[in-house]
Amino acid sequence: MTELQAFPDGFLWGGATAANQCEGAYDVDGRGLANVDVVPIGPDRFPIIAGKRKMFDFEEGYFYPAKESIDFYHHYKEDIALFAEMGFKTYRMSIAWSRIFPKGDESQPNEKGLAFYEAVFKECHKYGIEPLVTITHFDCPMYLIEHYGGWRNRKLIDFYGNLCRAIFNRYKGLVKYWLTFNEINMILHAPFMGAGICFEEGENEEEVKYQAVHHELVASALATKIAHEVDPENKVGCMLAAGQYYPNTPNPADYWQAMQDDREGYSLIDVQARGYYPNYLLKKFERDGLDITMTEQDLELLRDHTVDFVSFSYYSSRVASADPKANEEIQGNIFASIKNPYLTSSEWGWQIDPLGLRITLNTIWDRYQKPLFVVENGLGAVDEPDANGYVEDDYRIDYLREHIKTMNAAINEDGVELLGYTTWGCIDLVSAGTGEMKKRYGFIYVDRDNQGNGSLKRSKKKSFDWYKKVIASNGTELD
């Protein structure tokens, strides 16, 4: 790799969080209950995510980390000041749908919810930080799940449209960059978190998931349409959980399996970025007997209102095989994979592959030829603070340094158009996958443990000053 060049002028350096993982205040100022509130820490978290068990409210014997999280709701001024001290150009955050429409189907929004986010955005602008706002980061009001069945019901398109009209009009001039749905392909793997889906006995689960997917895709196009009508300066992006699949061996069957697995991830972004369903996905519907209801108006909306840019999360690459025996050894998170012997792994089994980020960037750029945005990337690790809350997190610095180098190469050597980079969990927050606090990503340590104990005191880690230097140098000083 050649010597580092500066990133493009105006490159948006920053960090990312999600409302359900940092905001807390789940019942404050009229906020309604959401699906993300009722998933507990522990072994029962995944059956709920998988939609195999209904938990529509809090139950005895469980700890629900999202109820308080790190209480960003009451600490946002302190936290944004710390982001500004690092030199953030952008801050990616999300809106809690049920804070603005507590049930989700109201005709009028909750003023206190609107006012909270207005205050947050103004606090960002006070420091010259551009908000990058995810409209739905796995949040779905529980009322919509209980009374409408979540995103399986096309009525949610209109409810989501009401949410978009409310926020685009209220925050005109305060927010320019929007993402419609976080990791939209997560519906296919975690339908309760992705779309508020709980399956009924005997129904075709694949059909339900893809019908929900279609409704979200139409809603995304509707959001893009409304955003551009309210303010032509708005830039709307889609977002997927990305990570290149490598074939396990040179066997053509393994290469084909890797291609198929990649296609599953990209299929929904194909619709959002190109404006139509790819033939291979339509053939899947036909082959598997999936009856997905699509109106002519739906297809017209998808065609006419594609996204302005493509954003994605990247944590690791994956390995695919057509051999059932090889697949007995899979490991990792929701996107489980065969272990790659050429890579090391994090404490949670996520394999560390900086070059995979360059490969993924080039793959997505070649596929869509639209500006890209890396909106999640980071290392979850157990941090050991000293008495003052200081963490010597050289392992995190090493991880981020190598990934930033490959982004630099993708831009300056490969010609990829990249708008910005927001590291995941710039401040410690609750893990979406496990519900743990000990799986930390941040530059800022938060005194809170897995069971909600701690002072919530914020303190800088070693990586805080390192990232500050990276941003100040526009990516050329990484030591």
Question: What is the predicted pLDDT for the residue at 335?
Answer: 72
What is the model's pTM?
0.96
pLDDT greater than 80 at residue 404: yes
Question: What is the predicted pLDDT for the residue at 332?
Answer: 60
Helices (H), 342-461: 354-368, 394-412
pLDDT digits (tens, 9 = 90+) for 40-51: 998 777 666 555
Q: Determine what percent of the chain is predicted with pLDDT higher than 70.
A: 97
User: Are 190 and 50 spatial neighbours (Cβ–Cβ below 8 Å)?
Assistant: yes
What does DSSP assign to residue 326?
G
pLDDT greater than 60 at residue 2: no
pLDDT digits (tens, 9 = 90+) for 140-173: 999 999 999 999 999 999 999 999 999 999 999 9
| Residue pointed to by tokens 């291979």 | 280
pLDDT digits (tens, 9 = 90+) for 183-226: 999 999 989 988 999 898 899 999 999 999 999 999 999 999 99
Domains defined for the chain, CATH in brackets: 12-473 (3.20.20.80)
pLDDT band (50, 70, 90) for residue 1 = very low
Residues annotated catalytic, as ranges: 376
User: Are 344 and 351 spatial neighbours (Cβ–Cβ below 8 Å)?
Assistant: yes
Burial (0-12, 13-18, 19+ Cβ within 10 Å), 287 = exposed
Phi, psi of 336 (to 5 degrees): -65, 150
Arithmetic mean of pLDDT, 408-416: 97
Question: What is the predicted pLDDT for the residue at 49?
Answer: 55
CA angle 223, 174, 472 (to 5 degrees): 115
Arithmetic mean of pLDDT, 362-371: 98
pLDDT digits (tens, 9 = 90+) for 263-304: 999 999 999 999 999 999 999 999 999 999 999 999 999 999
Question: What is the predicted pLDDT for the residue at 433?
Answer: 86
pLDDT greater than 60 at residue 28: yes
Question: What is the predicted pLDDT for the residue at 193?
Answer: 87
Question: What is the predicted pLDDT for the residue at 172?
Answer: 98
Question: What is the predicted pLDDT for the residue at 348?
Answer: 87
pLDDT digits (tens, 9 = 90+) for 168-190: 999 999 999 999 999 999 999 98
pLDDT band (50, 70, 90) for residue 333 = low
Burial (0-12, 13-18, 19+ Cβ within 10 Å), 328 = exposed
User: Are 277 and 337 spatial neighbours (Cβ–Cβ below 8 Å)?
Assistant: no
H or E stretch at 236: strand 235-242
Question: What is the predicted pLDDT for the residue at 53?
Answer: 65
User: Are 452 and 68 spatial neighbours (Cβ–Cβ below 8 Å)?
Assistant: yes
pLDDT greater than 90 at residue 132: yes
What does DSSP assign to residue 67?
G
Strands (E), 263-317: 309-314
User: Which DSSP string corresponds to 379-407?
Assistant: --B-----TTS----HHHHHHHHHHHHHH
Q: Which of 124-133, 227-236, 299-308, 326-335 has the lowest mean pLDDT?
A: 326-335
Question: What is the predicted pLDDT for the residue at 385?
Answer: 96
Query: If you average pLDDT over every residue of the chain, what do you get?
Result: 95
Arithmetic mean of pLDDT, 53-80: 92
